[in-house]
Amino acid sequence: MARGRDIDDSEVAGQDSFLDVVANIVGILILLVMVVGLRVSRETHAPTETTASQTPAVTSEEVAAAQQEAQKQYVLAAKAVDRARQSRAELQQQDEERVAVATLVAESKAELEDTKLKLSSDQRRDLELRTKLVAAQDELEELARTQVTLAAFKPQVESIESLPTPLAQTVSGDELHIRLADGHAAVIPLDQLLADFKEDAQANLWRLESREQASVSIGPIDGFRLVYTLRRANFTARSGASGTLIRLERWRLLPDATAQGEPVEQAVLPDSRLMRLVKARPATTTITVWTYPDSFNEFRTLKRALYELGYPTAGRPLPEGILIGGSPEGSQSAAQ
């Protein structure tokens, strides 16, 4: 600390010397200007012979202007010196205050440590507990203020509608299928198409006499065409007898332009075609909605309307460009 203090004193002394040098230089400049003015004044009073080509080197007006400028610079320099001295005094005062505060803090710490050393173990424990108690009280007050602030705050409540969703289970009863795409809902006449398929398949078994599989189209009905594929398989029984088995491999639904259906906003109205078809079914009918990604928002609207009518709803999301389809092993999707 003593060494740092000596350095500060040397800097202050250097500042004083610099200020004195500035003041002396300004004073010398003023004296030089006065000497030049005196010489010019003497030369103007002494008779001299001059030629037509000689002219005075310095005029009295220039001397007066130089004197005014020197006086002005002297005033500015004096003000700068005063400001510098004032700043130096303020810095010195701040440095003294900083040293005093640091000294006070160090003395307080030393006194506290000395007091701790003089205390017994029980007293030290008591002091630590009191210190922790004060800190805990401060924290408790802060929590109380936070609680009051939160109690006075009234957040904006956003209402979220939740429709009850039954536990997932296999649909075994009556079922109505709806295609939901591009914000439009259309009822799929799947029951009628499957009934026609049973008769049509019997009539097309001959197609498998010369090949292993055949695909046949049925419809359209209400804008939907059902395409099914039959496959022939040969087998041999344990008894050695052989035979041929024909089974359904898969089916797909191909919608045309007329299968677009109604916009969901209109389809949920009581007198819409979709609602008339739904209400014609028993209350135990499960409504299966095949939904494409561009109509997920409309699915909630349709599900709400069906829930209000008391019909259970099963959602079947489909990727874009995938056809509705199925097989004997279960429902499946086929790329279009």
Structure tokens at 318: 């489909």
Give the residue with greater pLDDT, 34 vs 334: 34
SS3 64: helix
In the predicted structure, residue 166 carries a pLDDT above the cut 70: no
Q: What is the distance between the alpha carbons of residues 128 and 261, in angstroms, rounded to a whole number?
A: 79
For 25, 148, 150, the CA distances from 139, given in Å and listed in that order, are 64, 14, 16
Model confidence at 287: pLDDT above 60: yes
Average pLDDT over residues 124-139: 82
CA distance linking residue 291 with residue 315, whole number of Å: 7
Give residue 135's pLDDT. Answer: 86
Q: Tokens 């059902």 — which residue?
A: 226
Task: State the pairing for strand pair 242-255/224-236.
Answer: antiparallel
Alpha-carbon gap, residue 321 to 24, rounded angstroms: 96
Distances 243 to 174, 231, 238 between C-alpha atoms, Å: 36, 14, 12
Q: Can you tell me whether residue 177 is helix, strand or coil?
A: strand
Domain ranges of the chain: 2-42+59-118, 175-335
Cβ neighbours of residue 188 closer than 8 Å, sequence gap 6 or more: 177, 178, 179, 222, 224, 253, 290, 324
Question: pLDDT band for position 153 (50/70/90)?
Answer: low
Rounded percentage of the chain residues whose pLDDT exceeds 70: 72
pLDDT at 161 over 70: no
Q: What is the mean pLDDT of the chain?
A: 76
What distances in angstroms separate CA 242 from CA 221, 231, 235, 239, 326, one per listed residue? 40, 17, 6, 9, 29
For the CA atoms of 198, 203, 205, 210, what is the dihedral angle to 10 degrees? Answer: -150
Q: What is the DSSP letter of 32?
A: H
The model's confidence at residue 52, banded by pLDDT at 50, 70 and 90, is: very low
Mean pLDDT score, 45-58: 50
Cα separation, 59 vs 57, in Å, equals: 7
The two structure tokens encoding residue 322: 């995938």
As a whole number, mean pLDDT of residues 169-191 equals: 81
Q: With a cut of 60, say whether residue 165 has pLDDT above it.
A: no
Is the Cβ–Cβ distance between 184 and 260 less than 8 Å? Answer: yes
C-alpha–C-alpha distance, residues 127 and 51, integer Å: 104
Give the DSSP H/E element, type plus range, for residue 26. helix 2-45
Give the rounded percent of residues in the chain with a pLDDT score beyond 90: 5
120 vs 273 pLDDT, higher one: 273
Ordered alpha helix ranges (H), 46-182 = 60-118, 121-152
